[in-house]
C-alpha cells in the first residue's frame, strides 16, 4: 500500500515536471547517505525528467565533474566547514580553482556558488552561526571575477529564521541581532546582481512558529484559514513567507531584489504531519502554483524554486528530529521510471 502511494506521487511529479519545462524548477541533492546514488544516474534521471537545474548541497569534485557536457545548471554550495578555511585570498583561490573553474573548463555548467548554509540561523543551524560570512562572500566574488568567471553568481542561503516572527508580512523585518551583517550581505548581493536565496520549510513555519492549522501549509486553498494583511489576503503559508521576506527586503532598501527559493519541501517521516500523503498533496499544490507563474501578491510573475530533495540522507544529523533525514523523493522517482520501462 505504502509503495503504491509513493508511485502515484511520483507519476504525478514526473508529469508535472514535464509541463514545467519553461518554468524554473530545480532540485537539491545532498550526499550524507551510506548508499550513495551514482552521480551519472542522477544526471540521467534529471535529464529524463526535464529538471535542468541541480542545487548541490556540497562541493565534492567527483560529483561536480559528472555533470560535464550535460548542460544541467549547477549551484555548488561551499559547506560551512569551508567558509572559515576560505577566508584568505590564497585559500579562496584554491577552492574556486578546484571546485568551480576546473570543472567549468571541463564542460560543467556551474551558474552559482552558495557560500555557507544558513550562516545567520538561530534555529536548525544555530551552531554554524557565522555572521562573519560577508568577507568570505566578497572574497569568493573577487576570486571568481579574477578568474574571468563573472557569470557565476555568488550568494548565501538563508532560512526564515533570519526574520523576526510576525503575524503579518507587512510587519516582517530582519532580526535585530543580525541586521548589520545582513545589510552588508544585501549590499553585496545588490552590487553583484545575486539573488536572495531562501530555504523554506512551510509545515515548520505553520505549526511550530505560528501555531496555525496545518491546512495553511498547503497550496490547494482548502483550509478556509487566511491572514488578511491590509488589502491582501493570504490563503497559504508559502506566499505569506515569500512576501514576508519581500517586505523585509523592501524595508532594508531593496524592494526589487530577486528572491530565489533555494529549498522547499515536505518531509515524509519524523515530523508532525510528515508522511507521503501530505508530501504528495503539498507538491501537487506547489507545482501547480509554480506552473501558473502567478507569483505572490508582492512578487507577481514566475518563481525560481528548487525542490528539496532528491534523496533521503541517512547520515544527516538528527538533532532536531529524524525528519532531517527524510526529504528524499528520488527513490520514488526511480521506481516510477522502472515501472514505466517495464510497461
Ligand atoms: C543549455 O541550457 C541553457 C539554459 O540553461 C540554454 O539556454 C542553452 O541553449 C543550452 N545549451 C545547449 C547546448 O543545450
Ligand atoms: C574573515 O576575515 C576577516 C578579516 O580578516 C575577519 O574579520 C572575519 O571574521 C573572518 N571571517 C571568517 C568567517 O573567518
Ligand atoms: C542597488 O544597485 C543599483 C545598481 O545596480 C543601485 O542603483 C542602487 O542604488 C543599489 N541599491 C542600494 C540600496 O544600494
Ligand atoms: C496552538 O493553538 C491551539 C489552538 O488552535 C491551542 O490550543 C494551543 O494551546 C496552541 N499552542 C501553543 C503552543 O500556543
Ligand atoms: C481561495 O478560496 C477563497 C474562497 O474560499 C477564494 O475567495 C480565494 O480567491 C481563493 N484563493 C486562491 C488563491 O485561489
Ligand atoms: C493596497 O494597499 C496599498 C497600500 O497599503 C496601496 O498602495 C495599493 O494601491 C492597494 N492596492 C489595492 C488593489 O487597493
For 4-44, write each residue's pLDDT tens digit.
444 444 555 555 555 544 556 788 877 655 556 666 777 77
Measured in Å, residue 237 CA sits from the centre of ligand 4 at: 18
- State the pTM of this model: 0.87
Task: Kindly state if the Cβ of 221 falls inside 6 Å of ligand 5.
Answer: yes
Q: Which residues line ligand 2 (CB under 6 A)?
A: 83-84, 87, 130, 132-133, 135-136
Superfamily in which the 9-342 domain is placed by CATH: Glycosidases (3.20.20.80)
For 101-140, write each residue's pLDDT tens digit.
999 999 999 999 999 888 898 776 666 657 678 999 999 9
Residue of the nearest CA to atom 6 in ligand 5? 221
Task: Kindly state if the Cβ of 190 falls inside 6 Å of ligand 3.
Answer: yes
In this structure, of 67-76, 116-125, 209-218, 261-270, the range with the lowest mean pLDDT score is 116-125
Pocket test for ligand 3, best of 182, 188, 190 (most atoms within 8 A of CB): 190
Q: Which atom of ligand 3 is nearest to the CA of 252?
A: 13
CA dihedral 22, 247, 27, 118 (to 10 degrees): 160
List the chain domain ranges. Answer: 9-342
Is 67 or 11 the better-scoring residue by pLDDT? 67
**95-108: string of b/e by CB count within 10 Å (b at 16+)?**
bbeebbbebbeeeb
Task: Kindly state if the Cβ of 228 falls inside 6 Å of ligand 6.
Answer: no
Q: Which atom of ligand 6 is nearest to the CA of 232?
A: 1
Task: Kindly state if the Cβ of 235 falls inside 6 Å of ligand 5.
Answer: yes
Residue of the nearest CA to atom 13 in ligand 6? 231
Q: What is the mean pLDDT of residues 294-304?
A: 94
Strands 110-117 and 73-78: parallel
Measured in Å, residue 53 CA sits from the centre of ligand 2 at: 32
Task: Kindly state if the Cβ of 60 falls inside 6 Å of ligand 3.
Answer: no
Query: Phi then psi for 134, rounded to 5 degrees?
Result: -60, -45
First to last CA, the chain: 20
Burial of 224 (0-12, 13-18, 19+ CB in 10 A): exposed
* Helix (H/G/I), strand (E/B), else coil: 54: strand
Contact at 8 Å (CB) between 301 and 249?
Answer: no
- C-alpha grid cell, residue 253: 532598501
Burial of 310 (0-12, 13-18, 19+ CB in 10 A): buried
Contact at 8 Å (CB) between 210 and 283?
Answer: no
For 90-100, write each residue's pLDDT tens digit.
999 999 999 99
CA dihedral 241, 243, 246, 247 (to 10 degrees): -100
Q: Which atom of ligand 5 is nearest to the CA of 224?
A: 5
For 144-164, write each residue's pLDDT tens digit.
999 999 999 999 999 999 999
Contact at 8 Å (CB) between 211 and 180?
Answer: no
Measured in Å, residue 132 CA sits from the centre of ligand 2 at: 6
Q: Which of 258, 283, 279 is nearest to 268 (CA)?
A: 279
Amino acid at each position: 500500500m505504502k509503495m503504491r502511494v509513493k508511485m502515484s506521487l511520483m507519476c504525478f511529479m514526473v508529469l508535472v515536471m514535464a509541463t514545467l519545462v519553461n518554468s524554473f524548477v530545480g532540485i537539491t541533492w545532498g550526499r550524507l547517505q551510506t548508499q550513495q546514488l551514482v552521480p551519472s544516474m542522477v544526471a540521467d534521471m534529471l535529464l529524463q525528467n526535464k529538471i535542468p537545474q541541480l542545487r548541490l548541497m556540497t562541493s565534492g569534485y567527483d560529483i561536480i565533474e559528472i555533470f560535464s557536457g550535460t548542460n544541467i545548471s549547477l549551484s555548488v554550495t561551499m559547506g560551512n566547514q569551508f567558509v572559515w578555511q576560505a577566508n584568505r585570498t590564497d585559500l579562496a583561490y584554491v577552492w574556486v580553482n578546484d571546485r568551480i573553474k576546473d570543472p567549468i573548463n571541463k564542460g560543467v555548467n556551474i551558474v552559482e556558488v552558495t557560500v555557507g548554509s544558513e550562516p545567520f540561523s538561530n534555529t536548525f543551524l544555530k551552531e554554524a552561526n557565522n555572521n562573519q560570512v560577508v568577507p568570505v562572500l566578497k572574497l569568493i566574488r573577487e576570486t571568481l571575477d579574477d578568474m574571468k568567471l563573472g557569470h557565476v553568481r555568488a550568494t548565501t542561503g538563508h532560512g526564515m529564521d533570519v526574520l523576526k516572527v510576525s503575524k503579518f508580512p507587512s510587519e516582517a523585518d530582519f532580526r535585530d541581532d543580525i541586521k548589520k551583517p545582513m545589510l552588508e550581505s544585501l549590499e553585496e548581493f545588490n552590487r553583484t546582481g545575486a539573488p536572495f536565496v531562501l530555504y523554506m520549510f512551510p509545515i515548520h513555519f505553520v505549526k511550530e512558529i505560528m501555531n496555525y492549522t496545518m491546512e495553511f501549509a498547503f497550496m490547494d486553498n482548502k483550509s478556509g484559514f487566511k491572514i488578511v494583511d491590509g488589502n491582501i489576503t493570504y490563503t497559504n503559508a508559502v506566499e505569506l513567507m515569500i512576501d514576508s521576506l519581500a517586505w523585509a527586503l523592501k524595508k532594508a532598501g531593496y524592494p526589487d531584489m530577486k528572491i530565489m527559493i533555494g529549498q522547499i519541501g515536505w518531509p515524509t517521516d519524523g515530523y508532525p504531519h510528515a508522511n507521503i500523503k501530505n508530501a504528495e498533496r503539498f507538491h501537487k499544490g506547489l507545482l501547480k502554483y509554480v506552473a501558473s507563474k502567478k507569483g505572490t501578491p508582492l512578487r507577481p510573475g514566475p518563481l525560481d524554486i528548487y525542490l528539496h530533495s532528491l534523496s533521503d540522507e541517512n547520515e544527516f544529523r538528527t538533532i532536531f528530529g529524524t525528519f532531517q533525514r527524510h526529504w528524499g523523493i528520488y527513490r520514488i522517482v526511480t521506481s516510477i521510471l522502472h515501472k514505466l520501462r517495464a510497461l
